[in-house]
Amino acid sequence: MNKNRRTFIKNMALAGGCAYFSLSPTRLLGEEGEKRIAPMERVDDNSLNYKQTIIILKKAYMREIQAHLAYTKFSLKALEEGYSNIAYLFKSFAVAESIHGRNFRNALVSLGEQPISPAEKIEVLSTKENLGQAISLELKEIDIYYPEHIRTIKAEEHWNSITAVSHALASEKQHEHLLQKMKKGTGIFWSMLKQKIEGEDVAFFICQVCGSTLTEIPDICPICGKPNSFYKEIEKAK
């Protein structure tokens, strides 16, 4: 290997920019094998070294896009039924889910893979029922899917993917918290719930890096640690 290429690979590994370079070619193929490494071979190496990560990223991407589509429809349904704040909540969640989807897509592309879009099958019920659907969706993400995903992909050490999945999990926790907060103190009666939600002047702000969803702009993002300039106020649903 010529000196320039060796230095380049070493610098990339040091910078931690591309996980591929963190495995030295010598470790992968031996002294003889490193001569055979060509850029075209990276994809094959990735599909071997990050097999589980790729499977999980594809699954998570599909679920996030599915959630994005569902929340967009729930938002329209809420508007139709006259619940503008609930429509706004769903619209904001839809934005956050698309940010998670984008992050998973980017991680897949960096591994030489393409995401697969979900076949759209979304049941839109009444807004009251859609809120219930949203809570159970978020709970599944928090309690089952994402913790499982993190456990599975940790061993493969593709840190961009681990970060993307961890950020999505933290953001879904915020969603679930917001949904529960809306219900809190209103009892179990829908009429009281909708009165409370619709009576509030609410605003949603979303971190464009990680999808963090908050009702106030923080000093720094509590999930990804980026400055608050990455937060965008979501426009009301209309």
Shorter beta-carbon distance to Zn ion: residue 132 or 222: 222
From its phi and psi, is residue 157 left (phi > 0), alpha (psi between -120 and 50) or beta? Answer: left
Distance CA 232, CA 219 (A): 13
Helix, strand counts (H, E) of the chain: 10, 3
Size of the residue set binding Zn ion (CB under 5 A): 7
Residue 65 beta carbon to Zn ion: minimum distance, rounded to whole angstroms: 20
Residue 224 beta carbon to Zn ion: minimum distance, rounded to whole angstroms: 3
Residue 212 beta carbon to Zn ion: minimum distance, rounded to whole angstroms: 4
Residue 95 beta carbon to Zn ion: minimum distance, rounded to whole angstroms: 13
Residue 220 beta carbon to Zn ion: minimum distance, rounded to whole angstroms: 9
User: Binding marks (x or -) toward Zn ion, 188..227, rule CB under 5 A?
Assistant: -------------------x-xx-x--------x-xx---
Distance CA 166, CA 138 (A): 14
Rule CB under 5 A: say whether 170 interacts with Zn ion: no
Cβ-in-10-Å burial (0-12, 13-18, 19+) of 99 comes to: buried
Shorter beta-carbon distance to Zn ion: residue 53 or 213: 213
Shorter beta-carbon distance to Zn ion: residue 78 or 207: 207
The contacts of residue 64 (CB under 8 Å, 6+ apart) are 97, 98, 100, 101, 104, 168
CB 158 within 8 A of CB 17: no
Shorter beta-carbon distance to Zn ion: residue 207 or 234: 207
Q: How many residues does the chain have?
A: 238
Cβ-in-10-Å burial (0-12, 13-18, 19+) of 207 comes to: buried
Shorter beta-carbon distance to Zn ion: residue 67 or 207: 207
Residue 61 beta carbon to Zn ion: minimum distance, rounded to whole angstroms: 19
Helix, strand or coil for residue 231?
Answer: strand
Shorter beta-carbon distance to Zn ion: residue 134 or 164: 164
Which residues form the interface with Zn ion (CB under 5 A)?
207, 209-210, 212, 221, 223-224
